[in-house]
Structure 1
Amino acid sequence: MQHEMAEGDLLDSKGSLLERGYATSEVRSYRRRAIKAPWYRIKEWDYYCVLNEDYGLALTVADNGYMGLLSASWLDFEKPDTVTDSIMLPFPRGRMGLPESADAGDIAQRHPKMDIAFRHLEGGRMLSIDAPGFAHGKGLKGEVFLAQPPMDRMVIATPFPRAPRAFYYNQKINCMPASGAVTFDGQSHEFAPATSFGILDWGRGVWTYDNTWYWGSASGLLDGKSFGFNIGYGFGDTSAASENMVFFEGRSHKLNEITWQIPPSGFDKDPWTFTSGDGRFEMIFVPVVERDATFDMKFLRSIQHQVFGHFTGFVVLDDGRKLDVANFQGFAEEVENRW
């Protein structure tokens, strides 16, 4: 079942989802004040990832109640190598002021070690990073503009079993052409819109304590046309809708469940396999480099295996057209959180 949501508020007077399902735009209005759960269960974040075949940038701002996070990653696909620096902020409790909409409201977080900003401009979004001490003093600084022409996105409202006040409201915006430059270790790296594309993972919700999720994403050009996809599962009750969706020329094509097969040899050693019961999404994913990040205080833990590489296979659109995909850049991840 794939239930498409209508417009309206996200939560009722008891803090539970009014409607569960998916959409292709921000149809439901999130209001933090409508949440009825304890402050330490509220999780809010914006995550951007910008990639081309040679390098990439990932930026995160998160307010997870008892822990805030500023994080930046530089990805080098030629070496290959990844570098991540993160700043932990104690007990923000909503004071970081993350916007209640993915389409309005800016984020500007200043810290002695790292400044991150996400701002809305006409026609898109500007990402800014300034971290002089990044990678033991190598430094990371730059601005990247993500153009956002009219296009569909993946939106999903997911409840959690036996937790009526828990929910996840998530938006994934794929296929945003990127332009700008980032300097790492004294060398400038250009992002050009013909070869570089960004995605946004916008999450707001009340999470249960122990969860493991799986997420995959890709954005770029296929035969000169905008193409990408979002796939994932692992958390909450997804009986009303999955988050699996293909984007082609700005239009979404909804998919049902997709089975992930991660090789027992490890996340970054052998190919992953993705298959769908209806035969509309069949992919082999070949890893290039893993961004492995672990924060473990036993009661508070995040173990992240984000693997960047290339997808090869095919997708079938809603109208039956088959699109062949070869060595298409993207990533897939497994993340375990106790928070």
Structure 2
Amino acid sequence: MTLRELTEPVSLTAGDGRVLNRDAVGWARQPIVDASRVHTRSWGRNKRWEYWNVTTPTHILAFTVSSIDYAAVLGVWIFDRATERTWQADATVIPPRGVTLAPRLEQGSSRARAKGLEIDIDEVPGGTRLRARIEDASFDVVAQLPEGHERLAVVVPWSSRRFQYTVKDVARPAVGTVVVEGVTYDVPEGQSWAVLDHGRGRWPYDVQWNWGAGSGRDAAGRVIGIQVGAKWTDGTGSTENAMLVDGRLHKIHEELTWDYDIATWRRPWRITGGGLDATFTPFYDKAGKTNLLVLSSRTDQCFGHWSGTFTTDDGDTIAFDGILGFAEEVHNRW
């Protein structure tokens, strides 16, 4: 199964914006798909979001800015790696308000304001500035965008009226500060990494997925980015699997095999296929549940370290170990 590589800008939707443009189905190395009309000609199934995750030697930082037509779902999370203390604020705002999402990736700012949290995403020279503020904690980080750095952009077609455009951007060098209860910690350059999930689409109501990502350097000093997914793309012909090596994307077209048991999440996970043989060893499970009648979700996002090997199409085998990241299992009714 080899999905077509997109090399020229293309619109996600066709006609008046209600249906999928079949010419957009494929994958790209840069965010060249225009999904700005997703929410303009339909209502109820549209999902738009920006999720950023930043790993540092001392902390893990994350936030979500999203609009799902009938609600804004927002969250900020800060995790102290040494103590496993967390600082967190979440908001589900019905009807959605206080949220601005850029029409296209890196073509405008995104913001969120709700009781107890503030989030700002701004494009700046050399990258993207990420700011979040909650009670007793905040961070201000730039996810740098090195020249030539590639991202995995994929269009997933369930049908002509249900489809998703996702950009998974891993191994972005990060620099900045995080402040917790009045104490400032560095987000040190060369040791900190940012991951983005940019999503625009129209989803089925009941969906499950796996997603895994990791960022770091291997023993040879190469920048390694891991991007794997499962379940939600089954049967579509699209996959969101890839490895990034020194900024170059190696697309994995095969569906991968995930071997794990969320009930015993500390047991190492195995993700294999398409030249990848990876083991993920978790140390923390960020578990959450939401049940607001029509809107419900269950998430287990496990943080840990990736190790294993990846063999490129050219036959080069790259070994990696101790790559910090996460793997998750999610079930949404939304």
Do both proteins adopt the same fold according to a TM-score greater than 0.5, normalized to the shorter chain?
yes
Q: Decide which moves more: 258-267 or 239-248.
A: 258-267
Aligned partner of 1:54 in structure 2 is 58
Q: Decide which moves more: 304-313 or 71-80.
A: 71-80
Aligned counterparts of 1:244 and 1:263: Cα–Cα separation in 2: 21
- Residues 1-339 of structure 1: matches in 2 within 5 Å? 1-3=1-3, 4-7=5-8, 8-13=10-15, 14-18=18-22, 19-32=24-37, 36-37=41-42, 39-92=43-96, 96-132=99-135, 139-150=136-147, 151-160=149-158, 163-222=159-218, 223-236=220-233, 239-255=236-252, 256-263=254-261, 265-267=263-265, 269-276=266-273, 278=274, 280-339=275-334
**Are the structure 2 counterparts of residues 323 and 183 from structure 1 closer, same or farther at C-alpha, using a change threshold of 3 Å?**
same
**Are the structure 2 counterparts of residues 182 and 89 from structure 1 closer, same or farther at C-alpha, using a change threshold of 3 Å?**
same
State the Cα distance separating 1:211 from its structure 2 match.
0.2
**Are the structure 2 counterparts of residues 33 and 180 from structure 1 closer, same or farther at C-alpha, using a change threshold of 3 Å?**
closer
Aligned counterparts of 2:38 and 2:267: Cα–Cα separation in 1: 46
User: Is the CA contact 1:49–1:58 (under 8 Å) kept in the aligned structure 2?
Assistant: yes
User: Is the CA contact 1:301–1:338 (under 8 Å) kept in the aligned structure 2?
Assistant: yes
User: Is the CA contact 2:127–2:145 (under 8 Å) kept in the aligned structure 1?
Assistant: yes
SS of match in other structure, 2:318: strand
Aligned counterparts of 1:84 and 1:290: Cα–Cα separation in 2: 15
Residue identity in the other structure for 2:250? H
Aligned counterparts of 1:184 and 1:259: Cα–Cα separation in 2: 39
Unaligned runs of 5+ in 2: none
Residue identity in the other structure for 1:104? Q
User: Is the CA contact 1:178–1:197 (under 8 Å) kept in the aligned structure 2?
Assistant: yes
Write the deviation string for residues 135-184 of structure 1: whole angstroms up to 9, x where unpaired. Answer: xxxx1122111110121101110011xx4211110001111111111111
**Are the structure 2 counterparts of residues 82 and 306 from structure 1 closer, same or farther at C-alpha, using a change threshold of 3 Å?**
farther
Aligned counterparts of 1:234 and 1:33: Cα–Cα separation in 2: 23
State the Cα distance separating 1:297 from its structure 2 match.
2.6
**Are the structure 2 counterparts of residues 190 and 238 from structure 1 closer, same or farther at C-alpha, using a change threshold of 3 Å?**
farther
State the Cα distance separating 1:287 from its structure 2 match.
0.7
Aligned counterparts of 2:33 and 2:110: Cα–Cα separation in 1: 21
Identity fraction in percent: 29
Residue identity in the other structure for 2:301? Q
SS of match in other structure, 1:165: coil
SS of match in other structure, 1:177: strand
Aligned partner of 1:135 in structure 2 is none
User: Is the CA contact 1:313–1:324 (under 8 Å) kept in the aligned structure 2?
Assistant: yes
State the Cα distance separating 1:265 from its structure 2 match.
4.0
**Are the structure 2 counterparts of residues 296 and 111 from structure 1 closer, same or farther at C-alpha, using a change threshold of 3 Å?**
closer
User: Is the CA contact 1:12–1:34 (under 8 Å) kept in the aligned structure 2?
Assistant: no
Residue identity in the other structure for 1:42? N
Normalising by the residue count of structure 2, what TM-score does the alignment of the two structures yield?
Answer: 0.92
Residue identity in the other structure for 1:285? F
Aligned counterparts of 1:303 and 1:82: Cα–Cα separation in 2: 19
Write the deviation string for residues 6-46 of structure 1: whole angstroms up to 9, x where unpaired. Answer: 43211111422323221111222112267643x22110000
Normalising by the residue count of structure 1, what TM-score does the alignment of the two structures yield?
Answer: 0.91
Write the deviation string for residues 80-118 of structure 1: whole angstroms up to 9, x where unpaired. Answer: 34443201211228x833112112110122334211100
SS of match in other structure, 2:44: helix
| Corresponding residue pairs, total | 326
Write the deviation string for residues 50-79 of structure 1: whole angstroms up to 9, x where unpaired. Answer: 002431100110011111022101122222
State the Cα distance separating 1:239 from its structure 2 match.
4.1
User: Is the CA contact 2:101–2:111 (under 8 Å) kept in the aligned structure 1?
Assistant: no
**Are the structure 2 counterparts of residues 311 and 103 from structure 1 closer, same or farther at C-alpha, using a change threshold of 3 Å?**
same
Q: Decide which moves more: 115-124 or 100-109.
A: 100-109
Residue identity in the other structure for 1:2? T
**Are the structure 2 counterparts of residues 83 and 290 from structure 1 closer, same or farther at C-alpha, using a change threshold of 3 Å?**
farther
Unaligned runs of 5+ in 1: 133-138
